[in-house]
Amino acid sequence: MDNYTIADNFSLLGKLLDIHGDNGFKAKSYASAAFTIEKLPVQLSELKPADIFVIKGIGNTIGTKIIEQLETGKMEALDEILSKTPPGIIEMLSIKGIGPKKISTIWKELEIETLGELLYACSENRLTLYKGFGEKTQQNIKESIEFYMGNLGSYLYQQIEPFAADITEKMKGEWKENVFLLTGEFRRQMEVIEKLEWVTTCSPSSLETFFTSNGFEIKTDEIGYISFKGKEKNITLGFYCCDEKNVSNKLFATSCSEEFLLAWKKKTKWDETKPFSSEEDIFSAGNCSFIPAYEREKAEVISRPPSSQPIQPGDIAGIIHSHSKWSDGVNSIDEMAKAAIEQGLQYLVISDHSKTAFYANGLNEERLKAQHAQIDELNAKLAPFRIFKSIESDILNDGSLDYSNDVLAGFDIVIASIHSNLKMPEEKAMMRLMNAISNPYTSILGHMTGRLLLSRAGYPVDHEKIINACAAHNVVIELNAHPRRLDIDWRWISKAIEKNVLISIDPDAHSIDGYADCRYGVLVAQKAGLTKEKNLSSFSLQQFEAFVATQKSKRK
Ligand SMILES: [Zn+2]
Ligand SMILES: [Zn+2]
């Protein structure tokens, strides 16, 4: 074992003690031991034990631990504290801008244990509520995490979208004569992207020369397919190379899920060797109405009767689920309403956090009164635009909502969400959710599983049971459109539609900029064939008012 490894171990031990809030003095002595060892002119492994103890700055405790490492290759004190530290907390040490003290606050006070959760907390503007975290620190942390995660190879659709567009443009500029058509996961609008792929008429050798001279490495090189991996963005770029007459076939085949393609081949006896001039022609030759790439997932889609037009980004008529300055949002209600009007929206549902959400500056009864008075005032000024009074009520541990019925009666609609004690078995999660759904004051079930894509799996739930309960109690299921949530998972939306449960594509906006997230909700909803008629946030103001009235009648 060399001095660097030993020094690193001491340094890590010191940091972990600090994170755990153990003995500040011990932590300091390990940190300074690490510093001393790194600077030593001789390797500790070449010294006799007696000579180690007399080195300046190394006393008995450190000396014993050095010998332990030299003899066993391990340090028990470090192993022990590592076993008591969640892996995500250890990972935070590699993020620039957060030292052990801050990590300790993040872990112990914000109860955040993974980088993904921390990133989400930054986007919810939650860090600034804590001592030592200014807006600038929060922004720095956010950028460092994004950089770090970007290097791991998987991206949210929203994270990789600008890069995909940019690189497509660059290639079109480089090869003006050739086609470059995005295909694969990206064209299917998957929520998480592991590789970007194109169908192209460009030759593999030409691509190879270009990418290798731009610092990329070849990852696979097969007949008709070549892929590269770059340093700047750790994502695979793959190319299906074919001649012009086969472009449509290639595009079709690479824009289907495996399941869909297999079923398609079986059903239509598709002859891949016969060139088609467009994807539409492939569908009509297969006696099937056109199915967009984003819907080519399950085999059953092929035999489904042609559905009406799936929802489009322009079909969002109002912002449901938004947070203002009253809780943890960035903008005032006034600013949020004006932005919504500018964007041609008809209404805004303000649903700040409820009183138990102290970490998000949740509203107590008194502040609610003041907020409602402000909304009344704004509504008088801004009509026909309308702001609805709502709350994102925490679903408490026993499944009850966060206020008395008297207070709940003051809201136009109530969004019920779980924010605390997310680590729970299915039984507990279902008890909380089912109690919340059957509560007559609940109108919308917020982010159903609490998942954060690429960072937190979410608590386990029985989707079918939840959907049935929502149908029975006339509760809408939110499709939280934050690109890191996209929760309910789109794979369950068709089940909800079948049971006549409305979906609501909600941005969960913590600022005006957050409104734009609706689009990511729409992109995954399209995969499930959701139509605007089945999406609450596509309701016109008049329809939405009728919806509010029905919800209020549930409470009697
Ligand atoms: Zn929430
Ligand atoms: Zn929210």
CATH number of the domain encompassing residue 110: 1.10.150.110
Same domain, 143 and 190: no
Question: Nearest ligand to the C-alpha of residue 449?
Answer: 1
Q: How far is the CA of 323 from the centre of ligand 2 (A)?
A: 6
Q: Is residue 333 part of a domain?
A: yes
Using CA atoms in the order 365, 480, 533, 191, what is the torsion angle rounded to 10 degrees? 180
- For residue 47, pLDDT beyond 70: yes
Query: What pLDDT sits at residue 307?
Result: 67
Ligand 1: centre distance to CA 538 (Å):
21
Q: Check whether residue 472 and residue 388 sit in a common domain.
A: yes
The set of residues, in sequence order, having a beta carbon less than 8 Å from that of 239 and lying 6+ positions away, is 197, 198, 199, 200, 202, 204, 207, 225, 226, 227
Please write the tens of the pLDDT for every residue from 199-223.
999 999 999 999 999 989 999 999 9
Query: 419 CA to middle of ligand 1, Å?
Result: 6
* Nearest bound ligand to the CA of residue 416: 1
Looking at the structure, tell me whether residues 367 and 269 fall in a common domain.
Answer: no
Query: Does some domain include residue 97?
Result: yes
Identify whether 378 is part of a domain. Answer: yes
Ligand closest to 390 (CA) is 2
Ligand lying nearest the CA atom of residue 509: 2
Residues 329, 426 within the same domain: yes
Mean pLDDT, range 146-155, rounded to an integer? 82
> In this structure, which ligand is nearest to the CA of 508?
2
Q: Binning pLDDT at 50, 70 and 90, where does residue 418 land?
A: very high
Report, as an integer, the average pLDDT of 101-112: 92
pLDDT of residue 369: 97
Q: What angle do CA 394, 398, 404 make, to 5 degrees?
A: 60
Q: Which ligand is nearest to the CA of 514?
A: 2
Does residue 308 belong to any structural domain of this protein? no
Residue 351 — φ and ψ, nearest 5°?
A: -130, 80
Per-position DSSP letters for 30-71, written without gaps between them: HHHHHHHHHH-SS-GGGS-HHHHHTSTT--HHHHHHHHHHHH
How many whole angstroms from 374 Cα to the centroid of ligand 2? Answer: 20
Domain edge (last residue) among 255, 280, 303? 303
Query: How close is the Cα of 393 to the center of ligand 2, in Å?
Result: 9
Angle between helices 60-72 and 24-39 (to 10 degrees): 60
The verdict on 245 and 212 lying in the same domain is yes
Q: Is the pLDDT of residue 147 over 90?
A: no
Name the more confident of 465 and 116: 465
pLDDT value at position 337? 98
Mean pLDDT of 259-277: 92
Q: Ligand 2 centroid to 479 CA: how many Å?
A: 12
**Torsion-angle region of 80 (φ positive above 0: left; ψ -120 to 50: alpha; else: beta):** alpha
Question: In angstroms, what is the span from residue 448 Cα to ligand 2's centroid?
Answer: 12
366 φ, ψ to 5°? -70, -45
The domain that contains 340 carries what CATH number?
3.20.20.140
- Give the pLDDT score at 456: 83
Does the structure show a pLDDT above 90 at 492?
A: yes
The CA 321 to ligand 2 mean position distance, Å, reads: 6
Residue 21 resides in a domain: yes
CA 11, CA 15: separation in Å to the nearest integer?
A: 6
Question: How far is residue 463 CA from its own chain's centroid?
Answer: 20
Its domain, for residue 187, covers: 155-303
Question: Which ligand is in closest contact with the Cα of 323?
Answer: 2
Residue 13 main-chain phi, psi, to 5 deg: -60, -45
Same domain, yes or no, for 195 and 219?
Answer: yes
pLDDT in tens, 303-346: 887 767 899 999 999 999 999 999 999 999 999 999 999 999 99
Report yes or no on 88 lying in a domain.
yes
**Percent of the chain beyond pLDDT 70?**
100
**Spacing, Cα 84 to ligand 1 middle (Å):** 29
How far is residue 67's CA from residue 86's CA, in Å, rounded to a whole number?
A: 28
Q: Which ligand has the nearest atom to the CA of 352?
A: 2
| Structural contact between residues 458 and 449, judged by C-beta atoms closer than 8 angstroms | yes
> Does the pLDDT at position 78 exceed 70?
yes
Distance 401 CA to ligand 1 centre (A): 14
Distance CA 137, CA 157 (A): 26
Q: Please state the pTM of the whole predicted model.
A: 0.84
The answer on 500 and 360 residing in a single domain is: yes
What is the average per-residue pLDDT within 52-74? 92
List CB-based neighbours of ion ligand 2 within 5 Å: 392, 508
**Distance from the CA of 349 to the center of ligand 2, in angstroms?**
11
Average pLDDT along the chain = 94
Task: Provide mean pLDDT across the span 139-149.
Answer: 88
Mean pLDDT of 36-65: 90
CB within 8 A of 180, min separation 6: which ones?
Answer: 168, 171, 172, 198, 199, 200, 202
Q: Out of 28-37, 228-237, 281-290, 321-330, pick the least confident.
A: 228-237
Return the ligand number nearest the Cα of 451.
1
Q: Between 340 and 40, whose confidence is greater?
A: 340
Q: Are residues 230 and 271 in the same domain?
A: yes
CA 191 to centroid of ligand 2, rounded, Å:
20
Q: Do residue 506 and residue 544 come from a single domain?
A: yes
Is 318 inside a domain boundary?
Answer: yes
Q: CB-based contacts of 351: which residues, under 8 Å, 6+ apart?
A: 320, 321, 322, 323, 390, 391, 392, 413, 415
One domain for residues 295 and 342: no
Examine the pLDDT at 494 and tell me if it is beyond 90.
yes
Rounded mean pLDDT, 280-288 = 94
Give the pLDDT of residue 1.
87
One-letter amino acid at 227 equals S
Spacing, Cα 523 to ligand 1 middle (Å): 21
Q: Which of 303, 336, 363 is the last residue of a domain?
A: 303
Whether residue 145 sits in one domain with residue 74: yes
Comparing CA positions, the residue from 318, 357, 364, 360 lying closest to residue 337 is: 318
Q: Which residue, 150, 174, 196, sits at the end of a domain? A: 150
Whether 165 has a pLDDT exceeding 80, the answer reads yes
Q: What is the pLDDT of residue 541?
A: 98
Give the closest ligand to the alpha carbon of residue 418.
1
Q: Is the pLDDT of residue 97 over 90?
A: no
| CATH value at residue 193 | 3.30.460.10
CA of 508 to the centre of ligand 1 (A): 7
Q: How far apart are CA 193 and CA 537, in angstroms?
A: 27
pLDDT mean over 270-290:
92
161 C-alpha vs ligand 1 centroid, how far in Å?
Answer: 25
Ligand nearest to the CA of 322: 2
Domain count, the chain: 3
Same domain, 406 and 492: yes
| Distance from C-alpha of 164 to C-alpha of 169, rounded to nearest angstrom | 9
Contact 525, 479 (CB under 8 A): yes
Percent of the chain with pLDDT over 90: 83
> How many A from CA of 109 to the centre of ligand 1?
18
Task: Please name the residues in contact with 162: beta carbons below 8 A apart, sequence gap of 6 or more.
Answer: none
Q: How far is the CA of 447 from the centre of ligand 1 (A)?
A: 7
For the CA atoms of 298, 300, 301, 307, the dihedral, rounded to the nearest 10 degrees, stands at: -140
Total residues belonging to the chain: 556
